[in-house]
Amino acid sequence: MTPDPTPTTAASAALFERARAVTPGGVNSPVRAFNAVGGTPRFIRSANGAWLTDVDGTSYVDLICSWGPMLLGHAHPEVLAAVGDAVARGTSFGTPTEPEVELAEEIVARTSVEKVRFVSSGTEATMSAIRLARGFTGRDVVIKFAGCYHGHVDSLLASAGSGLATFATPGTPGVPESSTALTLVLPYNDRAAVTAAFAEHGDRIACLITEAAPGNMGVVPPEPGFNAFLAETCTRHGALFISDEVMTGFRASRQGQWGLDGAVEGWRPDLVTFGKVMGGGFPAAAFGGRADVMSRLSPEGPVYQAGTLSGNPIATTAGLTTLRLATDDVYTHISSAAETIKAAAHEALDAAGVPHVVQTAGTMFSIFFRDPARGAVRNFAEASETDAAAYAAFFHAMLARGVYLPPSAYEAWFLSSAHDDRAVQTVLDALPEAARAAADAPEGAR
C-alpha cells in the first residue's frame, strides 16, 4: 500500500464538527483531539493488523495500538472468532462465568499476583487498589510520582505541593482539596525524596503507587533497582507497594515490567493494577496481589468494591485469547520491530540535526525532542523540556506519509506482532522527511 502523500480529511473533518456539537471537544478521551499537535483527528472506520483506515479511505500504520491494548494488531482472526462465539452465547449475565476464572488463572500464572479482581477500566483498578490498601493498612496517605498517570482518580489527579513531602493540590478543577490532601507527589527516580517522605509521614502512609515503568510522560524507565527500593521501603514502613502495570502489563514483556525487574531481582509488589492488553481491545482491567491483602475485599472481607460489567464474558474472552496468543515469539517480534524503528528514527533525526533522546521500557519506547547532552530523561520536570513544536511538525509529517503516531510528545509508541516488514518499511520511509520537518519547526524549548 503506498500512502497518499496529501490525504484528504474531509470526511473526518465533517464528523469532527458533528462530534464537537454533541461531545466536549468532539472526543471521548482528551488526547484523541489532537490539541497538542493541532489539526483534525482522523475518524477511524476499520483496522486490520498494523493498519488503520479512516473514513476518508486513507490507511495509516498504527503506532498507537489503541494506546497499548492491541498487542496482536487489529482484528486478529483468532480473537475475533473467540469473541464471535462468546457473543453468540449472550453478552452479559451478572453471574460468575468460566472465562473470568480462566483469565484470572492466566494472569496469576504470568505475573506476581496471587489473586485478582476484574473491573472495567484502568482508572477503576487503581482507585480500587488504593481503597484496598487504605482498608488493609488502616492508614490514609498515598504517595505518587509527578508525571505518572493512573487514570482520572480524584486523589491521583494531584500536582506536587510547594515542597518535598508536602501534600498535593488538585491537578484539575472539580477535584476538591480534601481529595488530594492525603496525596504526596514526589519526583520520579528520586530515592532521597522517597526516603524523606517516609521519614516524615511513614506511619500514615497506606501505599505508594507508581507506574511500573512510566509511559505517560513519554517513556521514563525506572533506574536500575528503583522499583526494588520502593518495594523494600514500603515493606519497612508497613505500607503497600502498588505497581501500576495498566500500560506495561503483558506489553513491556510477557510478564510486564515486573518480568524485567521484580522477577529477576526476586521481589513482588503487594498490589498490581492491569488493563489494556489483558482486555484484548475490550473494556477490561484488574487489580490483584498478595492473597492476604486481596482477601480483605468484599465479599470475603470488609473493603467494598463491585461492578455490573466487571469480568464481562466478551471482554474476558478477548483478553484470555489475546494472552494465550501472546507467546515469547510475539514479544521477540515486537522488540525487533521497535529496535529497527528506533535506530532509523535516531539516524533520521541526527541527519536532520534534531536534538533528541530515545528511551525504552521493554517493547515500549518514545523519543524526546531535547538536547542529548542533558542526558536521559529521569523525571517529569526533565520530560517537560521536550520541544513540543518540533514533535508536532514531526507528527504531522509522519501522518501525511501514512504513519499514525501518538498525537502528543508525552506518550509511548506502541507496536504489535502484526507490524510486519511492509508496515515497518512505511515508517522508515516516512522518517527522513519528518525529521526535516521537525528541524524546520519554529524554535521551541530546544
Ligand X SMILES: Cc1ncc(COP(=O)(O)O)c(C=O)c1O
Determine if 378 is a binding residue for ligand X (CB under 6 A). no
- Residue 149 a catalytic site member: yes
- Give the binding range for ligand X (CB under 6 A) out of 73-81, 242-250, 287-295, 370-378: 242-250
What is the smallest separation between the CB atom of 88 and ligand X, expressed in angstroms? Answer: 27
Active site residue 304: no
Amino acid at 95: T
Member of 76, 110, 144, 150 binding ligand X (CB under 6 A): 150
Residue 244 within binding range of ligand X, rule CB under 6 A? yes
Is 141 an interacting residue with respect to ligand X (CB under 6 A)?
Answer: no
Closest approach of ligand X to the CB of residue 67, in Å? 6
Q: Which stretch binds ligand X (CB under 6 A): 134-142, 147-155, 291-299, 315-323?
A: 147-155
Residue 244 bears catalytic tag: yes
Interaction mask 168-207, ligand X, x per CB under 6 A: ----------------------------------------
Q: With b meaning 16 or more CB within 10 Å and e meaning fewer, what string describes 209-236?
A: bbbbbbbbbbbbbbeeebbbbbbebbee
CB of 112 to ligand X, least distance (A): 17
Among 33, 197, 247, 423, binds ligand X (CB under 6 A): 247
Which one of the listed residues 188, 261, 276, 331 is annotated catalytic? 276
285/431 with CB nearer ligand X = 285
Catalytic-role residue among 54, 244, 261, 387: 244
Q: Pick the catalytic residue from 56, 60, 149, 410.
A: 149
Task: Name the residue with the smallest CB distance to ligand X.
Answer: 122
- Check residue 246 for interaction with ligand X (CB under 6 A): yes
- Minimum CB–partner distance for residue 325 and ligand X (Å): 21
- Torsions phi, psi of 16, nearest 5? -65, -40
Q: For residues 84-123, which are near ligand X according to CB under 6 A?
A: 121-123
Residue 66 lies near ligand X (rule: CB under 6 A): no
Q: Please tell me whether residue 275 binds ligand X under the rule CB under 6 A.
A: yes
Q: Does 56 bind ligand X (CB under 6 A)?
A: no
Q: Which CB sits closer to ligand X, 56 or 211? A: 211
Q: Which residues pair with 148 in a beta bridge?
A: none
Q: Which residues are catalytic?
A: 149, 244, 276
Binding site for ligand X (CB under 6 A): 67, 121-123, 126, 149-151, 211, 216, 244, 246-247, 275, 285
